[in-house]
């Protein structure tokens, strides 16, 4: 297939490019580098099966030649207001990537009669009242809360994909991604994994927002990419959760990072920086992915973190 991947210079987009090229596909990567990093494209540089187009997906998209599939991953993704790369500091760009970017990429899918896959998120469930989160849950989102620029853009994007699916017959997929980590995350986007790993490597206290009793469920990037590929190749047009169901409090997560890296320093408790909009519990129900895609994650948290730390060491200029 000739596949268009938006957000190609980002964490997940770059892994997808590499994975799909290795599967024998031709990949066209698109990005405007608003939160991405050109260095993430290095593994594809010079590859005959890769073409990069620098472009903002909020504007009309032209792609040369036939396209068989589109994976729309372009969007800021970090909720952390302390980083210039957090979506609350890129609010209009985030809404445009989810709204106009989704509209433009769906237009390409329609023009090329191509398969379409949207990167949605566990954030569409908001601060969930149902636990764990099944795909049938409608969510609990404040439409004007600080996170709404991201959550509502993704909810709109899902609605638009379903409209194109129902009205235009687009062959679509929606993946609801839960917290994923691994090499190529931005060091300074403020998400919990880069923050904690860097703090631990620097022997600094890990910054816990609130009391650390909020939970997340962390998936290693390799497991996620495998799940996304299975979904792309399936016939499933309803949303599918892909994530690791091992739920953990942020405080326990911090302790594990300290233990793996060998950081003797204690935690630093900070006020909830996210204006009370921090989801308190998050855990995917992956029954649908298991039954439809025969997919489940295989990487333990410890193995995934150990596989991620060398990337951070290299970027931080630390040596083994």
Which residues would be at the binding site for ligand NAD (CB under 6 A)?
6-7, 9-13, 31-36, 56-58, 73-77, 97, 101, 119, 121, 177, 179-180, 186
**Residue 61 or residue 293: which is nearer to ligand NAD going by CB?**
61
Angstrom CA distances, 234 to 100, 166, 219, 289, 293, stand at: 26, 18, 21, 11, 7
- DSSP state, residue 128: -
Looking at the DSSP bridge assignments, the partners of residue 116 are 70, 172
Q: Which stretch binds ligand UDP (CB under 6 A): 1-9, 21-29, 56-64, 74-82?
A: 74-82
Residue 3 near residue 26, CB atoms below 8 Å: yes
Contact between 209 and ligand UDP (CB under 6 A)? Answer: yes
**Residue 88 or residue 180: which is nearer to ligand NAD going by CB?**
180
Angstrom CA distances, 15 to 11, 43, 187, 195, 220, stand at: 7, 9, 16, 21, 12
Q: What is the maximum span of the chain, computed from C-alpha positions, in angstroms?
A: 58
- Chain centroid offset of residue 246 CA: 18
Residue 218 CB, shortest distance to ligand UDP, in Å, is: 9
Looking only at the bridges linking them, the beta strands covering 267-270 and 2-6 are unpaired
The residue from 85, 125, 150, 181 that is catalytic is 150
Residues 6+ apart with CB under 8 A from 226: 295
**Residue 118 or residue 261: which is nearer to ligand NAD going by CB?**
118
Residue 169 CB, shortest distance to ligand UDP, in Å, is: 34
Looking only at the bridges linking them, the beta strands covering 267-270 and 206-209 are parallel
Contact between 180 and ligand UDP (CB under 6 A)? Answer: no
13 binds, among ligand UDP, ligand NAD, none (CB under 5 to 8 A by kind): ligand NAD
d(CA 216, CA 253): 9
Q: Which stretch binds ligand UDP (CB under 6 A): 47-55, 62-70, 77-85, 96-104?
A: 77-85
Residue 288 CB, shortest distance to ligand NAD, in Å, is: 17
Residue 179 CB, shortest distance to ligand UDP, in Å, is: 5
Other beta carbons within 10 Å of 314? 12
Residue 134 tokens, joined: 């099944």
104 binds, among ligand NAD, ligand UDP, none (CB under 5 to 8 A by kind): none
Contact between 208 and ligand UDP (CB under 6 A)? Answer: yes
Helix, strand or coil, per DSSP, at residue 29: strand
32 binds, among ligand NAD, ligand UDP, none (CB under 5 to 8 A by kind): ligand NAD
Decide if 164 is catalytic. Answer: no
Given 25, 278, 292, 311, the residue binding ligand UDP (CB under 6 A): 278
258 binds, among ligand NAD, ligand UDP, none (CB under 5 to 8 A by kind): none
Q: According to DSSP H, which parts of 113-249 are helical?
A: 148-168, 192-201, 221-233
């Amino acid at each position: 297939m000739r596949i268009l991947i938006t957000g190609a210079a980002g964490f997940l987009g770059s892994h997808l490019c590499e994975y799909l090229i290795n599967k024998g596909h031709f990949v066209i990567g698109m990005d405007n580098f608003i939160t991405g990093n050109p260095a993430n494209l290095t593994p594809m540089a010079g590859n005959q099966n890769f073409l990069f187009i620098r472009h903002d997906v909020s504007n009309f998209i032209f792609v040369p030649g036939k396209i068989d599939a589109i994976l729309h991953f372009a969007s800021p993704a970090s909720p952390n207001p302390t980083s210039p790369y957090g979506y609350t500091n890129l609010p209009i760009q985030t809404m445009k990537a989810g709204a106009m970017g989704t509209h433009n990429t769906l237009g390409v899918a329609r023009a090329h009669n191509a398969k379409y896959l949207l990167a949605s998120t566990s954030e569409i469930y908001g601060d969930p009242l149902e636990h764990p989160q099944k795909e049938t849950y409608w969510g609990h989102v404040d439409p004007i809360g600080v996170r709404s620029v991201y959550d509502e853009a993704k909810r709109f994007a899902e609605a638009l994909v379903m409209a194109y699916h129902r009205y235009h017959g687009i062959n679509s997929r929606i993946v609801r991604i839960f917290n994923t980590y691994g090499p190529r995350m931005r060091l300074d986007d403020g998400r919990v994994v880069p923050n904690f790993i860097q703090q631990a490597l620097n022997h600094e206290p890990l910054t816990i927002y609130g009391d650390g009793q909020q939970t997340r469920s962390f998936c290693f990037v390799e497991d996620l990419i495998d799940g996304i590929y299975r979904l792309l190749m399936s016939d499933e047009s309803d949303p599918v959760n892909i994530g690791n169901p091992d739920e953990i409090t942020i405080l326990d997560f911090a302790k594990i990072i300290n233990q793996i890296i060998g950081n003797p320093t204690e935690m630093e408790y900070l006020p909830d920086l996210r204006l009370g909009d921090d989801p308190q519990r998050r855990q995917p129900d992956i029954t649908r992915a298991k039954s439809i895609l025969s997919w489940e994650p295989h990487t333990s948290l410890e193995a995934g973190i150990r596989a991620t730390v060398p990337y951070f060491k290299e970027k931080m200029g630390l040596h083994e």
